[in-house]
Chain A
Amino acid sequence: MASLWEWANPHKFMTWTAKALPIISIAAAVVTVIGLIWGFFFTPDDYRQGATIKIFYIHVPTAMIAINAWLMMLIASLIWLIRRHHVSVLAAKAAAPVGLIMTLIALATGAIWGKPMWGTYWEWDPRLTSFLILFLFYLGYLALWEAIEDPDTAADLTSVLCLVGSVFALLSRYAVNFWNQGLHQGASLSLDKQENVADVFWYPALVALFGFVLMFVALVLLRTRTEIRKRRVHAIELRERVQG
Chain B
Amino acid sequence: MIRLLQRDLILALRAGGGFGLGLGFFLILVTLVPFGIGPNSERLAAIAPGILWLGALLACLLSLDRIFALDYEDGSLDLLATAPVPLEGVVAMKALAHWITTGLPLVIAAPILGVLLHLETAAYLWLIVTLLIGTPALSFIGAFGAAITVGLKRGGLLMSLLVLPLYIPTLIFGAEVVRRGALGFEVATPLMMQAAITAGAIALLPFAAAAAIRIALR
Q: Is the CB of B172 within 8 A of A179?
A: yes
Known A-B contacts A148-B152, A168-B168; the reply to A160 vs B208 at CB < 8 A is yes
B161 touches A143 (CB 8 A): yes
Q: Is the CB of A163 within 8 A of B208?
A: yes
Contact assessment for B166 and A175 in the assembled complex, using a CB-CB cutoff below 8 Å: no
A157 touches B173 (CB 8 A): no
Q: Which residue of A lies closest to B144 (CB)?
A: A164
A144 contacts B176, CB within 8 Å? no
**Which of A43-51, A89-97, A132-140, A198-206 contacts its partner?**
A132-140
For residue A161, CB closer than 8 A to chain B, the reply is: yes
Q: Judge whether B165 is part of the interface by a CB distance below 8 angstroms.
A: yes
Query: Quick check: is B154 within 8 A (CB to CB) of the other chain?
Result: yes
Question: B165 near A172 (CB under 8 angstroms)?
Answer: yes
Please give the number of chain B residues whose Cβ is less than 8 angstroms from any Cβ of chain A in the complex. Answer: 29
Count residues of chain A with CB under 8 A from any CB of chain B: 25
A174 to B164, CA, bound (A): 17
CA distance A6 to B148 in the complex (A): 31
Is A61 an interface position by the 8 A CB rule? no
| A140 in contact with B165 (CB, 8 Å) | yes
Give B183 Cβ to nearest chain A Cβ, in Å.
Answer: 15
In the bound assembly, the distance between CA atoms of A1 and B86 in angstroms comes to 43
Q: Is A171 in contact with chain B by the CB < 8 A criterion?
A: yes
Bound together, the chains give a CA A176 to CA B169 distance in angstroms of: 8
A181 beta carbon closer than 8 Å to chain B: no
Cβ of B148 and Cβ of A157 under 8 Å apart?
Answer: yes
Of residues B169, B193, B216, which shows the largest number of chain A Cβ atoms within 10 Å of its Cβ?
A: B169
CB within 8 Å of A: which B170-218 residues: 172-173, 176, 189-190, 193, 197, 205, 208, 211-212, 215-216, 218
Q: What is the predominant secondary structure among interface residues of chain B facing chain A?
A: helix
Contact assessment for A143 and B158 in the assembled complex, using a CB-CB cutoff below 8 Å: yes
Interface of A is mostly: helix
Partner of A160, one of B148, B164, B168, B172: B148
Residues of B within 8 A of A (CB): 144, 148-149, 151-152, 154-155, 158, 161-162, 164-166, 168-169, 172-173, 176, 189-190, 193, 197, 205, 208, 211-212, 215-216, 218
Chain A residues at the B interface, C-beta cutoff of 8 Å: 133, 136-137, 139-140, 143-144, 147-148, 153, 156-157, 160-161, 163-165, 168, 171-172, 174-176, 178-179
14 A-B pairs besides A144-B149, A178-B193 with CB distance below 8 A are A136-B161, A137-B165, A140-B165, A144-B148, A147-B154, A157-B148, A160-B148, A160-B208, A160-B211, A161-B162, A164-B144, A175-B169, A176-B172, A178-B176
* A–B complex contacts, Cβ < 8 Å, 29 sampled: A133-B165, A133-B168, A136-B161, A136-B164, A140-B161, A140-B162, A143-B161, A144-B149, A144-B162, A147-B154, A148-B151, A153-B151, A157-B215, A160-B148, A160-B208, A161-B148, A161-B162, A164-B208, A165-B165, A168-B165, A168-B166, A168-B169, A171-B197, A175-B173, A175-B193, A176-B172, A178-B172, A178-B173, A178-B193
